[in-house]
A and B are shown apart, each in its own frame.
Chain A
Amino acid sequence: MNTGLEGVFFQNRAALLRFVRARGAADAAEDMLQDLWLRAAAGASGPIADPLAYLYRTANNLMLDRRRSELRRGRREREWADVEGLGSEASDAPSGERMLIARDELRTAQDALSGLGERTETIFRKFRLEGVTQQQIADELGISLSAVEKHLQKAYRALMVLRSQSDADSAGGGVISQRWY
């Protein structure tokens, strides 16, 4: 057992419990903390730079996963939306068909992003897909931090619109992403 992590977990148990409640865990909050510990312990081998942030992040992902599976249960008829076949429900390898659907969704999202202009797209890709920090992007492009944030806000708003549209017309399948645990 990673004793350092365990110590941080127990010291901050109350704060983490409060966090999962605020994140919508309701009655399941205690169970979520249990899951959090299992997942956090399994995911941590080497030293973790900031154990508390790591625990929060893991808890946040747990809650997102939970929300996603609720959403999925709410629309059984759209099982195919789980196109990537990553879920435990889909044990077989993704078929060519499913990959084509996934590709359509990706293209729609790409188009939406390209429509925002090259600078916004570049900034968003760097930040979100390549893990470059806001500060690094600002330095690299010689613009202010708040300008970077504005571009990111714009990109996120577009993606949210896309997501709500695909939920509404049930053609896009909002679920193009899924985490494992």
Chain B
Amino acid sequence: MPDTTSRIQEEAIGWVIRLRNASGREWEEFTLWLEADPRHLQAYEDAALADQDFERLPAGAPASVMVPESEREPRSAGRRAFLGWAVAAALVATIGYVSVRPGESRYAVETGAGERRSVALADGSRIDLNGSTRIVLDRDEVRFARLETGEALFTIVHDDSAPFEVEAGDALIKDMGTIFNVVHAEGAVEIGVAEGEVLFNPEEEAVRLTPGMTLYKREGQFWVLRGEPASVGGWREGRLSYSSASAGRVAADLSRNLGVAVGASPEVARKRFSGVIVLDRDPERLFRRVSALLDVEARRAGDGWMLTETGGTP
């Protein structure tokens, strides 16, 4: 009966809406509703999956305003090759990008500890947020993002006329058609490039970063290391790669990825580590691995973990 079908659908959508901010009690009511009719589950799943699909849609203004004319070109495999030489052209044509806008067009996207989220932008670009991360986007200015804290991987579709800019603390990163990862935590900024090219602080140092390069910046100083492009943004696949990173840094990354506090004693925090840590859902197993790789002792501390020196030996 079509009437029943549409009633069920309406109820299912109603649940998708309610459950976004539901109490435990409402979840119990939802359980009862599911049990009441076998068709309810199917209807709910259809609605919930459509809802999830939509998560990837660009936040902000209607498409007509946001999609740049240059992005309406016919698409082909040649597009990818195009990205290559467009980089050179973009270096010349990136002046006059105004970044001051009325405050109300800005909005924040946040993740809790251990949570991850992906934001699709109107131009096809994407930002993947690691846990405990906050970014600010601008509805009027789609080629802008500010990483207030945490870690994000930017997969940016190139547009000659409007380079994408990322602010992280006092660092400014200008993209040239690129995949790059930015960490902003405790006053330090780290920028890793997987593909394409970015320009660090274009108005000042103007350091050009190419795939595999990682720039670290802290208190006005910065240095660049070379590594594997493939390891950049590896957190999305549960891999954390390091080249001579401090164990303190490793602890901070683990904390962000796992959603629990991970501390390191001062002696351990100074240790250097190169290698790859593969994340694991089982914290016991993961920290056994961390303990072996970093040659430290890992033990539970409250809700989180603490890394200390092994058996008191230096």
Contacts and interface: CB of A to CB of B under 8 A. Distances in A.
Contacts of B281: 38-39, 42, 181
Given A67-B49, A181-B281, A22 B35 contact: yes
Interface in B139-187: 155, 157, 179
Interface stretch (B95-103, B202-210, B256-264): B256-264
A43 B118 contact: no
A159 B79 CA distance: 30
B304 A128 contact: no
A88 B79 CA distance: 26
A100 B138 CA distance: 22
Contacts of B126: 84, 94, 99, 102
A109 B57 contact: yes
Contacts of B19: 57, 60
Contacts of B60: 125, 129
A53 B27 contact: yes
Nearest to B22: A53
Interface residues on A, range: 35 or more
Contacts of B79: 96-97, 100
Interface in A158-178: 159-160, 162-164, 174-177
A62 to B, nearest CB: 12
B34 interface: yes
Contact of A177 (B20, B22, B56): B56
Interface residues on B, range: 35 or more
Contact of B112 (A43, A71, A157): A43
Given A41-B283, A57-B19, A95-B80, 16 more contacts: A15-B28, A42-B114, A43-B115, A45-B303, A86-B236, A88-B237, A100-B79, A102-B56, A103-B71, A109-B54, A109-B57, A114-B63, A114-B64, A153-B17, A177-B55, A181-B281
Interface of B: 9-10, 13-14, 16-17, 19-24, 26-28, 30-31, 34-35, 41, 45-60, 62-64, 67, 71, 75, 77, 79-80, 83, 107, 112-116, 118, 120, 122-124, 126, 128, 155, 157, 179, 194-195, 233, 236-238, 255, 258-261, 281-283, 300, 303-304
Interface of A: 1-2, 12, 15, 18-19, 22-24, 38-39, 41-46, 50, 52-53, 56-57, 60, 64, 67-68, 71, 84, 86, 88, 91, 93-97, 99-100, 102-103, 106-107, 109-111, 113-114, 118, 121, 125, 127-130, 133-134, 149, 152-153, 156-157, 159-160, 162-164, 174-177, 179-181
